[in-house]
Chains A and B, each alone.
Chain A
């Protein structure tokens, strides 16, 4: 007798059986016999019009019967049919993803990149970046002509965002557009904790409570005394869920 191999999601309708022997001279008759034996299967296999559902595929000895004679494909005693589901899915969005792959466009001429922030209070800035965020000091200088410090960063990317992209991130993090042309974003283990530590040491304006972003991060935006937009972000894991 031909047999039919049942996919795991449908075995709950066959009493757990993974393989069922059925009478049938062709594929169509064998499937009908299966549905007759296990009536709960019928609605999952067939539409109301009696056609096999589009995402139900039937293979005869590893060949899709659509490429043979469909339901009229004859069966022999030792044939095995398999019911195989098609699987599909996707996101809600209709617009292309915000991020795209970077494309290397030939030889770069940049050997290094330095981000320079002009600050009114150097000591306050060093408390923030050197002491609280713990960025290693490459060098510091105090001169009559001017003072400063160079702090090293573990991994740096330079992102260029359209105004629309910047507005989108602003609305996610702060609920409104901010006027800054440059924003500094630092990845930390716990954005809320680091924001709290910063708040204890330097006068920053917390622009918004922490936000869980659509891209899987927890972000806190603060504004320094000079108006630098600083995003602290941490990657969310499964334990850090609001759901």
Chain B
């Protein structure tokens, strides 16, 4: 394989697309504010209605779209690189659903009213439990034939279990609205998020990124096989721990404020892999940007398709991702 240099054009394209979509996300909404007044209102200190809408509703939504999308893309790339499994991503292996379960427990028990940090913390805990389980199963399976599919099946089982427990929590929650909110927790939404939600999630998301991005080099070396990588100084146990905790932090933080959004971490690394020369390390930051692009685009799409009702983000990402997943699955079976 010809060694490829750092694919600068790809990153420039991804970065500028993210920026463009961020601005577009600021300009889309049911109130139809024209673009120039909208951007002026964003920076205005006068508390008129335009400024309120831009600063308190559109801005946090665009920021969260970027943070959540980047986290899901990054986590997907890390999991695919670490498990060396093309089907791995936080949604499919149960990390997102378990994070939703943790977050739901925090909210409906009233814990997050008393301790706001309990929300992202419990989401992180849920995500960490699922992540830990999957990595343990993967480590035990080795790299024989069918190992990859077993890991994915285990992930789907964990996801189903988390979903069932989530249903249970919501049906036992005393407030009558709770039972219907399962749609939000399993499909995700960024509607009417505020800067408070940004402040809640951002620290956990950023900590997650700080843990995951440096794994790039180790993931590159792991393509040579575990023994070779260990000989070159990669401490596999440490890499696994950072991967679990980092994924749990950024996916947990994201899920706590947006619900579980699936398929982003699956689709983005696959689409970008050919563009970055199939190096798992370079794929990490690329997938982060690609994830932001996908979620921002999906969030713009739901607001254009259904301006007044809250169409869930997970619907759009599933419409893109599920056929993609099936295609990958059939391809993986053929080459297994």
Partners in one complex: no
